[in-house]
Structure 1
């Protein structure tokens, strides 16, 4: 090997080592800078004692030159609400015309278990009763068909009339001695649309055949009226299926580097998931909001060191998050810290700069939709909402 080749190899090793050390020092420097930004006290959405009963919604903050007029909130809401291109939502101008879904809980014991909050307005619920215990070998046949109807199916069982209800899974069924009373809950809608009348009929026929084979009785609601209910539920869900988004873009065609974004995100409490999103979670591991790339490339662990982008986006999936108003405040607080630290500009989806009055306007719109959800007994972030908005 010649002296020239040896020299080139040594130079290459020095360059690579220099890049590694530079990235490490840069990330360390940003972490210290970010840590200093969080030294001051600010409200915590999980620990502060505030009213947490309101559900919430999905909206994009919009810059407004004039203060909001509370008398025309819902009219303006329909005209001015900018949404992500992936999902345009139509908010009905008259809130009171939305269909009302009154909770009809499976049983009084359901209130004590989050597994049992299934109701006749979001699920097609059938009852199977037997004078003797239905063996778990027969119930296993029902569980094998749970993916055959286009929507999720949940089975609940009661071993004896004096015993509590429990969710029946493949694992729990193996350990059980069977059930005397079974309820099947077929979900009526999700983000893919309402359940079809054909699938409702297939599910009813399965239940009737099962009851006949086990000498049990089956109670199945009417298919036509249930399908009409599913269509109405899907329309209601589409009206409130909204996301709040705040974009932070670079100034003067500059760029944000991946190492700085990651250091700032992790110091703020985000965790990078394999789907390319930084997720901000609560103590129960529920996602409150996400941080994504403003451009098409996802944030992946392997490319953060080399990645550059012209912006980042905060997103709050409103129907799936409880305490919406407080979560919105927390997300806005972090967005401002990101904007200041990265040297960017907070804008809406039309790249219009966001002012405090514009953000407050969006918060008011958020509260209005929260009230629509609450009045229709589907609270954002509740188990029922988590099943519907998926």
Structure 2
């Protein structure tokens, strides 16, 4: 081996030694800086340090520290976590699927879908037969949405299908239609569909319908013209004076101070009050839809009082379901019976006048 080769080998070994020494010195220096930082804080950063930042709107689960009170050193940390959790929760839409009366079809997308495209496509997903559908969505940031918004990207959609209403339980045909709409949505945006077994869904629908059927009730009074028939104008004028509001679905609602409909007035033959010609109305019905009106201790008494006042304006007689004049004192007995029904509705999770009751008794 020549002197030149030996010299080159020696220089190579020396270079390796220098590089290793430099790396060791830098590593030692870095560890010392980290240890000095720990010593100055006096805390273990894994237990007390700042938590990793989350994307805007990301969900933060409760930490154990929020349950272990009595530690002064943790008070600020716990308060900060709770405040951030409240802020994150506020980013989610409050309206959600009602699992007591709705079943869900999940549509998950393989790629994020812009809100502008998704909103336009989901406009037609509103009904399957006689059952309303509601569309919810989840953004790519994990935020729950009751309405799709422009400027957001979405990872999935949830189609909520009502299990039962006054048209009856969800049928196999209606369920198939809802599934079909969900599959069209999935095909459009390259997604997958997941839903509960058909027979299980139909069984739940039948059970809910049986519960609702046992609790559904309407109490009515009839105003019978005594001397002359009325025009629609006569009825609308007298009804306005009696406190009824504008026509909704062919009937006039009587609304309380909280904005809730207590009972309604309409033609006994079912024809809309807005479409009647002159001098064609001989009977009017005043109806208390028990599940849809908020519980009230004097619900029937109040309706009877308004009916009698309207009858006086129209020169009519107030009769009950059997066609007999409403007897004085009958109101109290009927109100007592209604209290029992209100209690059963609440026990069944269908509180009278609640959003859920309005949904299934619609």
Q: Same fold (TM over 0.5)?
A: yes
Question: What's the RMSD between the two structures over aligned residues?
Answer: 3.6
Q: Residues 106-133 of structure 1, C-alpha deviation per residue, up to 9 Å, x if partnerless? A: xxx79x96742x3223111133445753
Unaligned runs of 5+ in 2: 1-88
Cα deviations across residues 267-300 of structure 1 (Å, max 9, x unaligned)?
1222352755333234676543222234676534
2:353 aligned residue (381, 385, 388): 381
Q: Does 1:228 align with 2:203?
A: yes
**Per-residue CA distance 1:137-178 (angstroms, 9 max, x = gap):** 35644544544555221111232555343234xxx4xx2433
- Say if 1:261 and 1:214 are closer, same or farther in 2 by CA, change over 3 A: closer
TM (norm. structure 2) is: 0.62
Q: Return the alpha-carbon distance in structure 1 between the equivalents of residues 323 and 276 of structure 2.
A: 29
- The Cα shift of 1:227 comes to 0.6
Aligned match of 1:263 = 237
**Structure 2 Cα separation of the partners of residues 376 and 125 of structure 1:** 21
User: Compared with structure 1, are the counterparts of its residues 293 and 142 closer, same or farther at alpha carbon in structure 2 (3 Å cutoff)?
Assistant: closer
Number of aligned positions between the proteins: 272
Unpaired runs of at least 5, structure 1: 1-108
> How many Å apart are 1:371 and its aligned residue?
1.7
Which residue of the partner structure matches residue 113 of structure 2?
134
- Counterpart-to-counterpart distance in 2, 1:388 and 1:273: 23
The CA distance in 1 between the partners of 2:99 and 2:197, in whole Å, is 12
Answer yes or no: is 1:336 the counterpart of 2:308: yes
Secondary structure of the 2:131 match is coil
Distance 1:339 1:161 in 2: 60
CA distance in 2, matches of 1:302, 1:182: 45
From the superposition, tell whether residues 346 and 113 of structure 1 become closer, same or farther in structure 2 (CA, over 3 Å). Answer: farther
Alpha-carbon distance in 2 for matches of 1:205, 1:313: 41
Separation (CA, whole Å) in 1 of partners of 2:120 and 2:98: 24
Tell me how far 1:378 sits from its aligned partner: 1.8
Alpha-carbon contact 1:207-1:218 (below 8 Å) kept: yes
Larger Rg: 2
Whether contact under 8 Å (2:218, 2:287) holds in the other structure is yes
Paired with 1:208 and 1:257, the residues of 2 have a C-alpha distance of: 53
Distance of 1:285 and 1:114 partners within structure 2: 21
User: Which structure 2 residues correspond to residues 303-382 of structure 1 after superposition, within 5 A?
Assistant: 303=277, 306-307=278-279, 309-382=281-354
Could you list the per-position Cα deviations for residues 316-361 of structure 1 after superposition, in whole angstroms to 9, with x for gaps in the alignment? Answer: 2222222354543432221232344545432112212222442222
CA contact (8 A) 1:255 1:308 kept: no
The aligned residue for residue 167 of structure 2 is 192
User: Could you tell which deviates more after superposition, 294-303 or 326-335?
Assistant: 294-303
Equivalent pair of 2:95/2:146 in contact (CA under 8 Å): yes
Label 1:297 to 1:122 Cα distance change in 2 as closer, same or farther (>3 A).
closer
Q: TM-score, normalised by structure 1?
A: 0.58
The answer for the alignment partner of 1:125 in structure 2 is 104
1:246 positional shift:
1.1
Higher RCO structure, 1 or 2 (CA under 8 Å, sep 6+): 1
SS in 2 for 1:271: coil
User: 2: distance between equivalents of 1:317 and 1:119?
Assistant: 22
